[in-house]
Structure formats: structure tokens, C-alpha cells
Amino acid sequence: MAQSHQVQLVKATRAYGTGEAMVKAIDEVDLTIDRGGFLALAGPSGSGKSTCLNLIGAIDSPTSGKVIVEGTDLSSLNPRQMTKFRNERIGFIFQEFNLIPVLTAYENVELPLHLKGGMTTAEKERTIMPLLERVGLGRLARRLPRELSGGQQQRVAIARALVKGPSVLLADEPTANLDSTTAREILELMKELNSSLGTTCIFSTHDPLVMEYARCLVRLRDGKVVDIQERA
């Protein structure tokens, strides 16, 4: 049974502080996400959306319970293994785009490829250029982030997140810094990538637009799942 779910949270709890001062960012959350899902975690700030993403993305570990991604129990990994896992399996997109300002669009996408090595320049180019073209930035590859618009920067970030062929793409409020037209374009792009590549996309958001696009909407409040809405 467990194998069919790509991401699984089992009574996952992340608490900060101890004793009286203890705050539970998420509290015994049970959640399963299937391969190829397009899911949004919604809820007011402080509801535990980002904590969920951090746990799934192997950035953080639960204080109790389990997080299983691609059959790997993340709580069994040490920090080095978690880092390696992130590099190989997870793609991240951030609210602030978080491109490295001194690197061009091309080099930003190139960045994750450098950690393992073994790829020739030509091989890298064969991997990177189609991706940049796919997100519509083939011609802007040599530009620095500050020479790109917000939407273009987020497209670079998407290309960067996908360059290692991850199975899960985590997006933390990806449209929060974009106007609605651009946001819609970005969501269309991600939806297209989701269906063509089969990459599971998990958003955290309180943007109604994102919720509208999501095929599954999980509502969180005070660290607990309050509602799961599946859509056809």
C-alpha cells in the first residue's frame, strides 16, 4: 500500500521549544500524496504550510512521526544524506525566486549540476538549453537576474528546480511576488510541466488563483489538516 504513495506524512509533528513554551508548527499530520499530483497546501500564516514543505523537502526533520518520500524514511537520514537527497530528488521554487545575483540565468540553472560533476560542458548545455527554452527563456540565457522581470526570474527558478529531473517540485508561495497575469502564466507553465514530465508539484499558498489550479487542496489551520478537497 505504502509504495503507491509518493509522499507520506505519518503523524508528523514538528515542535519548537520545550515544556510550557512549546509550539507545534504541525501536529500529528497524516497526509499522502500520489505520484504526479498537483497539490496546494492552503491556510493562514502560521498554519504549518511551510513546515510541511520543509519536511517533505528534507530541509527539516519531524520531532515525532515519519516523513516518507519515494520510499525513503527521511528521519533515518543524516544531514549530509538529506542534502544529497535534496539535490537529487527535490526541486525548490521560492517566493523571492532566490536566484544567485552574480550568475546568469544559464549559470543559475547550471548550479545544481556542479555538485556531482562528471558532466561535460556539452552535456550540460544539452540539458540546460532545452529547459530554458521550455520555460520560454532560450534567448535570455546570458542575462543576469537583475536584468530579468519577476516572472522571468521565477521561470529561471523553475528551470533550476527541474534541471536534475526531481520527482517532487516544492513551491513555497511561488506567485506571491507576481502580478496576477504573470502568476497565471507561471501556473500554466507548471501545470504543463506536471502533465508532460509527471513531476509531482506541491504548493504552499494563500493565493486563490493557485487554489483554483490545484487538483487537490489541503487546508491547514493551527498545524492540523482541517479539510482535503480532491478535484477531478
Residues that bind another protein (CB under 8 A): 57, 59, 80, 83-84, 86-88, 92, 94, 96, 98, 100-103, 107, 110-112, 114-115, 117, 160, 164
Cell of 38: 498537483
> Closer CB to another protein, residue 160 or residue 219?
160
- Distance of alpha carbon 81 from alpha carbon 75, whole angstroms: 11
For another protein, the closer CB: 21 or 102: 102
Rounded Cα–Cα distance for residues 81 and 45 (Å): 30
Give the residue with the Cβ less far from another protein, 32 or 177. 177
Minimal distance, residue 113 CB to another protein, in Å: 9
Closer CB to another protein, 158 or 217, in the complex: 158
Q: Which is nearer to another protein, 42 or 170 (CB)?
A: 170
Q: Order of strands, edge to edge, in the sheet holding 200-205? A: 90-93, 168-172, 200-205, 38-42, 216-221, 224-230
- In the complex, what is the shortest distance from the CB of residue 98 to another protein, in angstroms, rounded to a whole number? 4
Question: How are beta strands 38-42 and 90-93 bridged, if at all?
Answer: unpaired
Least distance to another protein from the beta carbon of 115, Å? 5
Minimal distance, residue 108 CB to another protein, in Å: 10
* Structural Rg of the chain based on CA atoms: 18
- Rounded to whole angstroms, the Cα distance separating 105 from 137 reads 9
CB of 99 to another protein, least distance (A): 8
Q: Is 174 helix (H, G, I), strand (E, B) or coil?
A: coil
